[in-house]
Amino acid sequence: MDGTGTDDGGVLLRLSCDEVMVLHEALSRTEWADDLEAVMLEPGAERQVATDLMLALRPGVPHLGTQAYGAALSVAEARVVDRDRRP
């Protein structure tokens, strides 16, 4: 994952496909459950930005809404964790 500021005051965020899947899942659970320990979204702006980000990530989430999604997410999560363990 890498973030870069842009000339127009924005931020360009570069994520791997695995990171997109994991982030989308975390945001999706936050939106539906309201009980995650690590992510607490206040109503209003925080919730709106998280929802907008989740919707923007959707095109990069393979198998979303299919029976293959769970297995694909498990593989993505494992690769992200394994990547972070490498020296």
Helix (H) or strand (E) holding 12: strand 11-14
Enumerate residues 6+ apart whose C-beta is below 8 A from 50. 27, 30, 31, 41
In this predicted model, what pLDDT tens digit does every residue of 22-58 receive, in sequence order?
999 888 877 655 555 555 666 788 878 888 888 899 9
Mean pLDDT, the chain, whole residue set = 84
Q: Reduce the DSSP state of residue 74 to 3 states and report it.
A: helix
Q: What is the dihedral of CA 4, 17, 32, 34, to 10 degrees?
A: -50
Q: CA nearest 75: which of 58, 65, 62?
A: 62
Rounded percentage of the chain residues whose pLDDT exceeds 90: 49
CB atoms within 10 A of CB 13: 13
The pLDDT of residue 7 is above 70: yes
Among 24-33, 65-74, 76-85, which range has the highest average pLDDT?
65-74
Whether the full predicted model's pTM is greater than 0.95, yes or no, is no
